[in-house]
Amino acid sequence: MTAAAPAVPSTVLQKRLGLPFAIAIMAGSVIGAGILRTPGVVANEVPVFWAAMAVWALGGVYVLLSVNVASELTTALPRAGGIYVPVREAFGDGLGLLAGWAMWAGGAAGMAALSLAFAEFLAVAVPAMSPFTAPVAVAALLMVTGFNAIGAEEGRISNIVGLALKLLLLSGVIVAAFTLESSGPSSAGSAASSVSPGEAAIGWIAFITAFQIVLGAYDGWQAPTFFAEEDKDPARNIPRAFFVSAVMLIAIYLAINLSVFTVLDVETLRGSDLPVALLIETLLGPVGLKITGLSAAIMALLTLNAIIMAQPRILYGMARDGLFLHSAMLVNRGGTPWVALLIGAVVAIPMILTGAYVFVFKIQVAAGLLAAVLYNAAYFALRLKRPHMPRPFRAIGHPVLPTLILAITIALFAAVVIADPVSGLWVAGLIGVCVPVGIHLGHERRKIGTIGHI
């Protein structure tokens, strides 16, 4: 009797995902506890109602311009790896490696920050948890990582349910702001009128700073690109998910900002780290702070779930192209790249315990914008390099709108480097490492391939 051959570990992702998940993963990756904080930060830079609303609307326009390009690139190259895939396809292994690492490192820092945010917001609702912020954060990270290790189907369901819960929580805030009586100003107009003439003269530096903060609140819109290979019909689902989610995000963010301007005066809003908590406290009394803390903790945990599910797909794509450890391609029965998943947790835990995620975030802002520049440039490079490549979705308004988003990302990258030259130096160092390493790995891979064909 012949012994059964040992099972070969799978390295193939499974096509289990569809349109509802694509919408949920994009909107769920963007909408987090950050929207409960950022209205106050933005209002501090632009303390005028119409100007603050304009910045949030412009952030939405940025996302719409971005997903227009992303829809073409993702449907043309529906492979795991996110923005890394078209950058490598257009510019080679070196810049592909740079884009991949920039996105992955930023995501790892995001995992650490969201874990801590969960613990901190939980402590607002349950003060007794305050001394245990770091252990609670690590426990949350490990719990969500373990849940995602089960499989893609569980991740699909949890993200869809998670988005529904977030929308329910935020809708409750919006409805309460316009239906319940409060002791503060009752209209956005009165809030705006309390600003002095000097404050009303908003400078360009403040406006650009506010815009960068808003873009941070919209960050995460790239999420559907990580799962294109696992989508049952990416040519149809990815563009629809991009545009539906973008419109949803704009509507929610504008409504939340309108709510806080309606209930709170500008000075209170500017001085608040958690303006939505003040809004609810104004409407419901002291219990409002605890409700906000618990709601924010839930939103942070759900956003952490979305990011932890996406992160392994970056390493998986890089590993398949020979730019990372081959073991990162191992996929379990549930369809999860489990080794890549564990690597993310191993890197994020020290960031939680040491606060290193703050350092990574500072560098990632510049590195992420450089990756965005390369991504949008890849659109034009691939149009020239591979004009006959099948493109199920062709970007609207070519070449004007894609040129506009490329120009915006270049300007933002330049502004960040000028404002923070140290981050610019770190990015230069990252380029100095990634480009030659990527080129070397590419040569080695081609050499092995050549030998294999002899």
- Buried-state track 338-360, b at ≥16 Cβ within 10 A, e below 16: bbbbebbbebbbebbeeebbeeb
In order of 14, 17, 344, 444, the CA distances from 328 in angstroms are 16, 21, 11, 19
Mean pLDDT of the region 373-394: 97
Tokens for 428, please give them. Answer: 């230069």
Evaluate whether residue 14 is within a structural domain.
no
Evaluate whether residue 246 is within a structural domain.
yes
Percent of the chain's residues with pLDDT above 70: 92
The per-residue pLDDT for 202 is 63
Evaluate whether residue 6 is within a structural domain.
no
pLDDT tens per residue across span 337-355 = 999 999 999 999 999 998 8
**Secondary structure (3-state) at 126:** coil
* Residue 300, amino acid: A
Evaluate whether residue 12 is within a structural domain.
no
Evaluate whether residue 154 is within a structural domain.
yes
Cα 294–299–301 angle (5° rounding)?
95
| Helical residues (DSSP H) of 92-187, grouped into ranges | 93-125, 133-150, 152-179
> Higher confidence at residue 4 or residue 357?
357
Checking if the pLDDT of 377 tops 90, the result is yes
Mean pLDDT of the region 396-419: 94
Q: Phi and psi (nearest 5°) for 337? A: -70, 90
pLDDT tens per residue across span 236-291 = 999 999 999 999 999 999 999 999 998 888 888 887 778 888 888 888 787 877 88
pLDDT tens per residue across span 116-166 = 999 999 998 899 999 999 999 999 999 999 999 999 999 999 999 999 999
CATH of the domain at 159: 1.20.1740.10
Mean pLDDT of the chain: 88
- Buried-state track 436-447, b at ≥16 Cβ within 10 A, e below 16: ebbeebbeeeee
The answer to whether 113 touches 220, Cβ cutoff 8 Å, is no
Position of tokens 């020290």?
350
Residues β-bridged to residue 10? 331
Checking if the pLDDT of 190 tops 80, the result is no
Mean pLDDT of the region 361-385: 91
The per-residue pLDDT for 364 is 77
Evaluate whether residue 35 is within a structural domain.
yes
pLDDT tens per residue across span 298-331 = 999 999 999 999 999 999 999 999 999 999 999 9
pLDDT tens per residue across span 65-99 = 999 999 999 999 999 999 999 999 999 999 999 99
Checking if the pLDDT of 434 tops 80, the result is yes
Evaluate whether residue 48 is within a structural domain.
yes
Mean pLDDT of the region 107-118: 91
Checking if the pLDDT of 370 tops 50, the result is yes
The answer to whether 148 touches 159, Cβ cutoff 8 Å, is no
Confidence of residue 34 (pLDDT cuts 50, 70, 90): confident
Number of domain units in the chain: 1
Mean pLDDT of the region 183-204: 49
Confidence of residue 449 (pLDDT cuts 50, 70, 90): low
Determine the structural domain holding residue 309 and report its residue range. 19-452
Checking if the pLDDT of 362 tops 80, the result is no
The per-residue pLDDT for 99 is 93
Residues 6+ apart with CB under 8 A from 120: 133
Length of the chain, please?
454
Checking if the pLDDT of 448 tops 90, the result is no
Checking if the pLDDT of 8 tops 60, the result is no
| Helical residues (DSSP H) of 220-320, grouped into ranges | 223-226, 234-263, 266-270, 275-284, 287-320
The per-residue pLDDT for 189 is 43
The per-residue pLDDT for 298 is 93
The answer to whether 39 touches 217, Cβ cutoff 8 Å, is no
Evaluate whether residue 9 is within a structural domain.
no
